[in-house]
Structures are given as C-alpha cells and as structure tokens.
Copies of this chain bind each other. A is one copy, B any other.
Amino acid sequence: MPSYKAPIADMQFLLHEVLKAPASALPGYGDLEPSFTAAVLEEAGKLATDVLAPLNAVGDREGCVLENGTVRTPTGFKAAFDAMKEGGWTALDCDPDYGGQGLPYLMQSAVGEIFVSANMAFNMYQGLTHGAYSAIHAHGTAEQKAKYLPKMVTCDWTGTMNLTEPHCGTDLGLMRTKAEPQDDGSYKITGQKIFISAGDHDLAENIIHLVLAKAPGGGEGTKGISLFIVPKVMVNDDGSLGARNAVSVGKIEEKMGIHGNATCVMNYDGATGWLLGDLHKGMRAMFTMMNEARLGVGLQGYAVAEAAYQNAVIYAKDRLQGRDVTGAKNPTGPADPLIVHPDIRRNLMEQKSFVEGARALTFWGASLIDAAHNGDKDADGLIGLLTPVIKGFQTDKGFETAVNAQQIYGGHGYIEEQGMSQFARDARIAQIYEGANGVQALDLVGRKLASDGGKHVMAFFEMVKAECKAHDGDARMTAFVEPLKTASKQMQAAGMFFMQNGMKNPNAALAGSYDFMHLMGHVCLGLMWTRMAKAALVCLDEGRGDKSYLETKVATGRFYMARQLPLCGAHLARIESGADTVMALDAEAF
C-alpha cells in the first residue's frame, strides 16, 4: 500500500526563501514565521500520514453506497472527518467572525496540498464546503451568513455546488432547473443536477446545496440564472434543524476514480431555496469563486502526482532489476536498484521537477489571491491570467506524472493492490471538472489574454524580463535565464500570432489555445524554477539551510530548464500552423 509523507522542507523553502511570506504586508502574513508554519504543516502532515493516507485505498475499494436514500461513505471516513474537524483544519483561512482562524489562503493551500496528497476523494468533502462557504461569505446577507457560516466553518454542515445538468455542462445557458418565487420570499427549486461531488453523505448533520437555477424574468441563456441556497434539512430561525427539504439523491455515479467521494445525481422536487446574491446574477456570483476553485483543482493535479512520485521513488530504490551500464552499484546483491537506470532517472526527474515547480506556482498563485482579496488590482488581473494555466497545465501534467509514477512499477503498477493505478485514476478527474481543460485554454486565449487591453499578460512578460535581468552576470543562473528568455519570447510570438490572425479568424487563435496553455505553463514553471534556484543559491552563499536539499533544488531546476523548456518551441510551431489543418475537414469526414 502506498505511503505518504508531507514535503515540509520544500514547503518551508517556498514560504520563507522564495515567497518570504512573513515579510509581506498582506494581512496575516506577518504571523507566518518559520517556526509557526512548520508546526502547522507538521501537524497536518501527521494527520495526513497516520489517518488520511491509510484510508485512501479503502475509499477506492469500497466507494460510496446509496442506502435508503442516503449515502454511506467508506469505512473510517466519519472518524477521520471528525478528527479533521476537531483539529480545526476545516477553519484555517475562514473569517474569524464566523469561527475561522483567519490564516491567509496561502497557508490553506499548503495544508490543502498535504490533505489532497494523502486522500483526494476524502478531502473533497471539506473542499466543496469551503467553496460554498466562500460563495455565501461573498454574496450572502448578514442573516444568511450568521445562519450558515459558523456551521460550515466547522464542517458540522458541509456544502455543495450544483451547476451541471444532464444536457448542460460547459454551456450553462441551456439550464432547465427552475426557481419559482414564493410569497414568503423563498423559491421553489425544481430540476435535476448531476455530477454533484459530496452531494450526500453521512459525515455531517446537514448539507447546504448551492444551486444554479432559472428564475422568471431573467431572459435567455446564462442571463436568467440565479444562485440559491437549498439546505438538505431546513434550518429554523434559532439555528436548529427542521424538516427535510424536497431534495433527494437519484443515484451515485460509478466513476473511474475518486470512489471515496459520492458523486450524486440530485433531484430537486420543489425544494425550498433562498436567493444568494442578486437575482439573475448567479453566474457572476459563481465566477467570483472561480479563481479559487480552479486553483484548488490545479493543486489537486500536482498533489496527487506528489504522492505517486513519493511511492515511485521508494519502489525505484527498492526494486532490484538489471545492472547499471557504467558498473554495478549493488555488486553484492543479485541486481542493482531500478534507480540506477538512466530512463528511470529521466522519468523520476520529470516527476520531481514538475511537482516542485507546480507547488511553487500554486503557492505564488495563492499569495496573489490573498493580495487580490486585499484590493490589489494588479494581483487580481495576474491571478485571473494564471488561473487557467494553473488549472489546465497542472492537471494535465499531474495526470501524466501519476501515470509515469505508475510506469516505474512495471507490471506491478497495473495491479490495483499496489495503489499506483488509483493515483492515475484519481488524478484524471482534475483535467475534467471545474471546466474541462479545453475550456481553460479557451478562457486563457479567448478571454484572459486580451482582458483589460492585454495589460496583465504584458505585466507578466515584464515580470519575466525583470527576473532574467536581475540575474545578469550570474553565471550560475545562465542555465535558467537563457531557456526562460527563449521560452518567453516564444510565448510572445504566439501571442502576436493570435493578435495578427485572431481578429479576422477567431479559429486561428482558438486552434492554438491548448498549445498556448501548455507553452505558458512551461514559461510559468521556468519562472518558478529561476526564482527557486536563485533563492537556493542565496541560501548556499549565506551558508543557511540544508546544503544537500539546496543543491538538489538547483539541480532539479536545471533538469526542468534543459529538458522541458524546449517543448515551448514545438508548441509555438503548432500554434503558428494556425487553424487550416485543424479545421480542414467537414464534420462528416470524421
């Protein structure tokens, strides 16, 4: 069975040497002293290693079961959920006014990674609750906040997000679920929602469903959509629980992975709901949550990959097979460990350099969200630009990494007992939900690049340029700066191609959108590796920190720059080939 250990040294390095969090003026950052963050991460790591990780395979094997209309979660999930609640882990970055601990979203993300690595399906129950909490916190009335948030902060009540319907996924304008206004100010919600993660379960006494539905008078398409609070069990004015609402589970979906999380068909049969935010402005209310939710999915991408990577390393060191071609490394044993073989190394280095780069990008992204919440418009623009990359690129590469980790195991990786298949199957969903990755690419190229007159992407290029300039004359940084410069220029050339061709033919840009998302992903990770390498070299120069860790960090970065940044040229060539070959065929020709 796979094991997991929180990568605390790497997280501390990011928080303190790269981001220098305590030096930031952002609210709460001043408290993030190394000893404090280490203590938090170590406690989270213990819970993850001892409680959550051992349940990961259990959840996969048992799945969730619908019995008499309610969902039973896998053995041990309830006790683990209680341990999570008791540890205060559900309240980390929540508003102290409602019982939260008020830590920055950055810390929430670091702890979140640990829990997701240990047990992605389990962590979704609180992850979805956090999303619903944020929506109510941002758009609820004072009364709504007082009524729901304290219980959601503790996860005594959990939350869900209800968007998708059988015939409508990305295109929410096709939505059919209806909201009929009632005399008492409530609405009757009627319709079917599908793919509702944590839609029902036995972990909490109530579930607060947030449901998109069409109320009268809003017009066609997405314009008519509003967001509603629909509790599973009605909440009385004194906060006590009342009658069951008219919402029920139609079935649990059988999925490729994340079996431990109940993905439900939810039926709303005239269920009582209350408007959240403005009437007919439900899409806007959802979208304010989007950066955070998509960053969370991008985090899942590399967090599952991290767990898979850790186990691939253990196996590669342990499994004896073949001999090092340059001379036996284990001459007294029957064979050398797998890790001596160059192609095994190539594979492991791809995994390691991706995961550490993605962690840096995600932590940086989380700090931008903190800044944006604090009114920083530039940070808000930048995280808007980065979000589709963090979501799309990181989940694609995260899945690829999990598959590569599985490959290290050879035939044993295909056997469910070993647990490597689960990492691949679980990681797969992150490429799909919260906007399939093709939709992320469309968002990036069709919307974010040009938003505010292209201001944010220009700022990003300036940032990369400044980073490169800062290391002028530092020969140790050449292996970082040169590939980053090249890749950044390739990204600019791609942007130029879109500008020159996209106006007269939008397809010329959109046909290259997926490649652009990956091109930009490599530039982002190249930027992260440049920053990390510099931070590590500074530590080495100043004689601070673990020398071996720091040298490994620089070497891992050099691998990424030498081996992954060359892909940017290929992405550019594909982009510049335009839409002609992509759109050449009639639909009938497929």
What residues of chain A have their CB less than 8 Å away from a CB belonging to chain B? 164, 167-171, 173-174, 194-195, 253-257, 313, 316-317, 320-322, 325-326, 334-335, 337, 339-349, 352, 399, 403, 406-407, 410-411, 413-417, 421, 424-425, 428-429, 431-433, 436-438, 441-442, 446, 505-507, 510-511, 513-514, 548, 552, 555-556, 558-559, 562-563, 566-567, 569-570, 573-574, 577, 579-585, 587-590
Contact = CB atoms under 8 A, between A and B. Distances in A.
Instruction: Report the copy number of this chain in the oligomer.
Output: 2
A337 B582 contact: no
Contact of A325 (B170, B507, B514, B556): B507
A438 B256 contact: no
Given A321-B168, A438-B343, A438-B344, A326 B506 contact: yes
A590 B352 contact: yes
Nearest to A555: B584
A510 B342 contact: yes
Contacts of A347: 438, 514
Contact of A432 (B407, B573, B587): B407
Contacts of A510: 325, 341-343
Contact of A566 (B169, B335, B573): B573
A506 to B, nearest CB: 4
A511 B413 CA distance: 22
Contacts of A579: 342
Nearest to A438: B343
20 contacts: A170-B410, A174-B320, A256-B415, A256-B424, A257-B414, A325-B506, A343-B438, A343-B442, A343-B511, A345-B582, A346-B514, A403-B428, A407-B432, A548-B589, A552-B589, A556-B585, A558-B584, A562-B577, A567-B570, A570-B570
Given A344-B438, A414-B256, A559 B584 contact: yes
A585 B174 CA distance: 53
Contacts of A334: 174
A101 to B, nearest CB: 34
A347 B167 CA distance: 22
Nearest to A509: B342
A221 B341 CA distance: 19
Contacts of A414: 255-257, 428-429, 432-433
B342 A513 contact: yes
Shortest 8 CB-CB distances between A and B: which pairs?
Answer: A566-B573, A342-B510, A559-B581, A256-B421, A562-B577, A570-B570, A555-B584, A343-B438
A171 B340 CA distance: 14
Nearest to A583: B345
A317 B339 CA distance: 46
A175 to B, nearest CB: 11
A348 B410 contact: no
A342 B559 CA distance: 34
Max chain B CB contacts within 10 Å: which of A348, A414, A416, A505?
Answer: A414
Given A325-B510, A349-B581, A579-B342, A256 B410 contact: no
A405 to B, nearest CB: 12
A425 B414 CA distance: 9
Contacts of A562: 574, 577, 580-581
Given A313-B590, A562-B577, 6 more contacts: A169-B411, A174-B320, A317-B587, A352-B590, A562-B574, A570-B570
Nearest to A411: B195
A174 B335 contact: yes
A411 B321 contact: no
Contacts of A344: 438
Given A254-B415, A573-B566, A410 B432 contact: yes
A18 to B, nearest CB: 19
Contact of A570 (B167, B340, B566): B566
